[in-house]
């Protein structure tokens, strides 16, 4: 089924077409969301939200960008929103813990989560370090990095999803890598 026909069928409310769309794009949506949230259940939740939004707003799709670009944009936005709400939750949890003076609170990892050089870095720790380093990146750098490294997207496609120039994508990915390297090296040095 070609994309144009798929859009027409979706706009007509065809359930078969919608099922086809979910099957076609579910792995991409899930993988992109994973790149942002690093949690299977959150990524699954985001995937559901994205497809519900596609179903609800397919009437507004004008075909200015490709269907996959449109879906990627939604996924990125939903994932960034999820991270923002996580941050807000973390902030309120910290305030709550401060006022409760609760010793057993475990909402945020302790500041000293460094690994000594002689210790072999386990997968779990590396995963955590990478997540923290990624989360500390500015949103545009993170988006470009995730689309490139998790989705194998070409710079041109990333530029289209992010609505920026090709040169900007190159620069964003370069800066994201530099920042990540710096942060991960600091993590190991501690």
Answer yes or no whether residue 167 interacts with other proteins by CB under 8 A.
no
The conformation of residue 138, written as its DSSP 8-state character, comes to -
CA distance 1 to 85: 37
The minimum distance between CB 50 and other proteins, in angstroms, equals 9
Distance in Å from the first CA to the final CA of the chain: 54
User: Which of 26, 68, 114, 171 touches other proteins (CB under 8 A)?
Assistant: 26
CA distance 52 to 59: 13
Answer yes or no whether residue 115 interacts with other proteins by CB under 8 A.
no
User: Which of 51, 70, 72, 155 touches other proteins (CB under 8 A)?
Assistant: 51
**Residues 134/34, Cβ–Cβ less than 8 Å:** no
Answer yes or no whether residue 63 interacts with other proteins by CB under 8 A.
no
Q: DSSP letters of 22-81?
A: HHHHHHHHHHHHHHHH--HHHHHHHHHHHHHHHHHHGGG--SSS-HHHHHHHHHHHHHHH
Segment contacting other proteins by CB under 8 A, of 72-80, 105-113, 120-128, 158-166: 120-128
Answer yes or no whether residue 169 interacts with other proteins by CB under 8 A.
no
**CB closer to other proteins out of 106 and 123:** 123
CA atoms lying within 13 Å on the CB side of residue 71: 25
User: Which of 1, 40, 66, 84 touches other proteins (CB under 8 A)?
Assistant: 40
Binding site for other proteins (CB under 8 A): 13, 19, 22-23, 26-27, 30-31, 34-35, 38, 40, 43-44, 47-49, 51-52, 55-56, 121, 123, 126-127, 130, 149-150, 174, 177, 180-181, 184-185, 188
């Amino acid at each position: 089924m070609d994309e144009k026909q798929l859009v027409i069928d979706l706009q007509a409310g065809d359930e078969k077409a919608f099922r086809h769309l979910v099957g076609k794009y579910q792995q991409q949506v899930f993988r992109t969301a994973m790149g942002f949230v690093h949690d299977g259940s959150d990524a699954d939740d985001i995937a559901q939200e994205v497809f519900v939004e596609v179903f609800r707003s397919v009437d507004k799709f004008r075909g200015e960008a490709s269907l996959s670009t449109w879906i990627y944009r939604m996924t990125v936005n939903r994932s960034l929103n999820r991270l923002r709400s996580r941050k807000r939750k973390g902030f309120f949890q910290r305030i709550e813990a401060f006022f409760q003076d609760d010793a057993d609170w475990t909402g945020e990892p302790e500041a000293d989560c460094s690994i000594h050089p002689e210790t072999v870095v386990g997968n779990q720790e590396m995963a955590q370090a990478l997540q923290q380093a990624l989360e500390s990146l500015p949103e545009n750098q993170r988006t470009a990095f995730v689309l490139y490294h998790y989705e194998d997207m070409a710079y041109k496609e990333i530029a289209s999803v992010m609505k920026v120039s090709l040169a900007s994508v190159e620069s964003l990915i370069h800066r994201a890598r530099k920042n990540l390297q710096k942060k991960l090296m600091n993590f190991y040095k501690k």
